[in-house]
Amino acid sequence: MLTSKTKIYGLLGYPVRHSFSPLIHNSAFEAKKIDACYLCFETKPENIKEAIEGIRVLNIQGVNLTIPHKETCLSHLDEIEKTAKLIGAVNTIVSRENRLIGYNTDAEGFIKALKEDLRFDPGNKTVFLMGTGGAGKAVGISLAKYGARQIFVVEKNKKKAKALAENIQRNFPNTRVELTHTHNQEAIRNSHLLVNATPIGMNLNDNLLVNPVYFSPQLLVFDLIYNPAETKLLRAARKKGLKAVSGLGMLIQQAALSFELWTGEKAPIGLMKRSVKR
């Protein structure tokens, strides 16, 4: 039951109606007997400054950020944790003594899901990465951090693609980065993992970004989209007999890390998983 003492957490994004985050976090709060509530706050891009100031004004304890706010929020925070600063994107804000501190739990959440759901270790592997937004940057940096040999980067915004490539090569010189396009058959065929970090696929009418004809038998596919549960990319990969997973595992892993930052308690990750699989 909500009371005058209930702590408020939430999600800032546009859109947010598809989000499973309230279900995940509210299940965790209930299980841990924490008097807290997690809500969605649909926030248009032009209102992000006011929304973040509202966290402070309304004494909201913390929020997650999703499309399109993970990068634009940076200039409105009091402090940015070093990993989030390296990535250049924040997906978790903690309110601490009236200071708003930005963290990135996407990066570690992605790696945890990658290892658990696909049994994949990026060390010395080649990855084809589509998208360099907030989530895409977290994926790229985490792959390099964990020893990827080569990352092919696809992004229609060449300036953003170049910025990510330079950031990876500056901080992880052992990882080779090459900017490419979705029709690079050789790059796709030589990759061990293909990651979609774009929102293309959320709409059932979206076209495939890549031609499944290019998929080799060794390829694993990770689509960061989790709603719908099966995108056209996942369906095409599975039709060819490939192991392919949605972003649901990553959503849960990053949520668990956010929960621990906010509460200081161990996240009940098993329950968080069950909450979205009922």
Query: Of the candidates 51, 38, 50, which has an alpha carbon nearest to the alpha carbon of residue 7?
Result: 38
Q: How many CB atoms lie within 10 A of CB 20?
A: 16
What secondary structure, in 3-state letters, does 200-259 show? CCCCCCCCCCCCHHHCCCCCEEEECCCCCCCCHHHHHHHHCCCCEECCHHHHHHHHHHHH
Q: Which residues contact 53 (CB under 8 A, 6 or more apart)?
A: 76
Copy the structure tokens of residue 83. 């990993």
Cα–Cα–Cα angle for 111, 68, 96, nearest 5°? 70
Catalytic residues: 70
Q: Give, in order, the Cα–Cα distances in Å from 272 to each of 12, 91, 216.
A: 20, 18, 34
- Contact call for residues 110 and 256 (beta carbons, < 8 A): no
Copy the structure tokens of residue 126. 């080649």
